[in-house]
Chains A and B, each alone.
Chain A
Amino acid sequence: MDKVQMLQVLAASLFALGLTGVIIRRNVLVMLMCMELMLNGVNLSLVTFAHTMGSAVGAVLVFLIFVVATAEIAIAIPIVLLLVRRKRSLDIESYTDLKG
């Protein structure tokens, strides 16, 4: 198992772990952190491929993902704060306003 394969498998498992965390955890903040973990897995995959191919495209994409992740957190945290202020709970299962 060479280095590139190992890093790609690690990136895939980080992504899968993050997705599982988003599905199985109930705390909104923990779900947000699991989304960050998914982004980190994608970043690792991009960096490994950019390193393997010796091109700068992957690194440019990684920087764009950094910015998107920062913007995502900057929007998501105020929304979570407002939700908690209205519902008095961090539990995802108490946010059922959109349920038909």
Chain B
Amino acid sequence: MIRDFLAHLDTLLLWGFAACAFVSASLMLVLRQPMRVALALVSCMVFLGGVYGLLGVHFIAAFQVLIYVGAVMVFMVYAIMLLDPRDESATAKYSKLLWPGIIGFALLAEALAVGYWNDLPHAPRGALGEPFDIARFSTAFLTEYWLHFELTSVLLLVAVVAALAVIQENRRHERG
């Protein structure tokens, strides 16, 4: 029995991680304080990292934790800390679009789930469960997709320039 359990352990863990990710994503909609929402999002991202690890794409799991949790969310928590946490919108009710939003959520989720359920393309036999390793990924990244790589670096440069422009605009506004 224990051998059976161990044989199915990765499937159980996958379902557990997926359920936890879904629960923490749902919590993001109902929690009031921005800091708690941020913690729910961090846990959702960590559980998704676990899902990626169980799928065998370990480098994406590592980057999920390093980039998303380590950089993006730390930045977000820093912004929450910098702004006043007792802002009235932190405790106010939902926006006026609450019911349209909920109805839209139900329709979108149903359409996507039914679409996936019926029309999911079948995997080629034998392809499932053969994770690609980082060597193959890196070779493809820097030979086939070098243009996308360069375009991404241009995008980062544009982001840096835009952040500087935002700061400049603020200084001009304060002076004038």
Contact = CB atoms under 8 A, between A and B. Distances in A.
Contact of B101 (A12, A23, A48): A23
A85 B108 CA distance: 36
B26 A81 contact: no
Contacts of A21: 28-29
Interface residue tally of chain A, by bracket? 35 or more
B152 A67 contact: yes
Contact of B132 (A25, A59, A89, A90): A59
Contact of A71 (B21, B80, B101, B159): B159
Interface residues of B, number: 84
Given A89-B89, A91-B88, A64 B148 contact: yes
Given A5-B120, A66-B63, A23 B95 contact: yes
Given A80-B79, A89-B88, A51 B68 contact: no
A1 to B, nearest CB: 9
Interface of A: 3-10, 12-21, 23-30, 32-34, 36-37, 40, 43-44, 47-48, 50-57, 59-60, 62-64, 66-71, 73-75, 77-82, 84-86, 89-93
Given A6-B18, A60-B137, 20 more contacts: A8-B120, A13-B25, A15-B112, A20-B104, A26-B95, A29-B34, A40-B45, A40-B48, A47-B55, A51-B128, A52-B127, A52-B128, A53-B123, A54-B130, A59-B137, A64-B152, A71-B159, A77-B76, A78-B166, A89-B88
